[in-house]
A and B are shown apart, each in its own frame.
Chain A
């Protein structure tokens, strides 16, 4: 299994440009999410999805759109890039165990996309 893959690894945009960060997983995980990490900070949740066709907002959703048309893919779209969106973006996937107390196991993170907006 390739796990969680992200493309591109690096991207430079000009203010106002739009682009899509790609994320794919081959583990048949139900749950996928996008985080951003600014220098010296922890990760902040942007959007997440609990299954194909279902998405919801996280802590910092403004300026980003997502869709989940398949289990495998969860792209993140920047509508009109701003310098404040310069960050490292991580995609993650997870699965839910069955039975007993509701428990979501480990999240698998991709290698990240380093985005600079000029």
Chain B
């Protein structure tokens, strides 16, 4: 199974950057790192994915270490609406993702 290790919970002040770490030491060479989030009881929402290089989109940035054994998701200016469970996943085919328990990010006013 594709397993990742994430902190159970994190807090962040509104307007500050939220940096969510993830360890994926068992990742293989052709597997991507994916980040999803789940707000309350809604369906998960895709955030970003990457292979080797750092990636940025309108929602977040993804920093992957050179050895690819860990990554960090960065929300540059967290808002209250970013409070959610964030899942870090690695896999070769997106349709067979293995979700762990994720990190509950709480953004405080």
| Residues of chain A whose beta carbon lies under 8 Å from any beta carbon of chain B | 4, 31-33, 35, 40-45, 48, 50, 58-59, 88, 90, 92, 94, 101-112
Contact indicator A105/B94 (Cβ below 8 Å):
yes
Contact indicator B44/A104 (Cβ below 8 Å):
no
A104–B102 Cα gap in the complex (Å)?
A: 21
Contact of B97 among A40, A50, A105, A107 (CB under 8 A): A107
Assuming the contacts A103-B32, A109-B43, asked whether A48 and B92 have C-beta atoms less than 8 A apart, the reply is no
Contact indicator B96/A58 (Cβ below 8 Å):
yes
Contact indicator B92/A102 (Cβ below 8 Å):
yes
Any chain A CB within 8 A of the CB of B98?
Answer: yes
Interface range for B: 20 to 34
Contact indicator A104/B46 (Cβ below 8 Å):
no
A111 / chain B contacts, CB cutoff of 8 Å:
42-43
Contact indicator B42/A108 (Cβ below 8 Å):
no
Give the distance to chain B from A27, nearest Cβ to Cβ, in Å: 13
Any chain A CB within 8 A of the CB of B45?
Answer: yes
| Residues of chain B whose beta carbon lies under 8 Å from any beta carbon of chain A | 30, 32, 36, 41-46, 49, 51, 87, 92-102
Give the distance to chain B from A112, nearest Cβ to Cβ, in Å: 6
* Majority secondary structure of chain B interface residues (helix, strand, loop or mixed): loop
Contact indicator B46/A108 (Cβ below 8 Å):
yes
Interface pairs A-B: 8 shortest CB-CB: A109-B43, A104-B94, A106-B46, A42-B99, A43-B99, A31-B95, A42-B100, A109-B44
Contact indicator A42/B46 (Cβ below 8 Å):
no
Contact indicator B94/A107 (Cβ below 8 Å):
yes
A107–B51 Cα gap in the complex (Å)?
A: 17
Taking CB as reference atom, which chain B residue is nearest A48? B95
Assuming the contacts A107-B46, A109-B44, A111-B43, asked whether A42 and B101 have C-beta atoms less than 8 A apart, the reply is yes
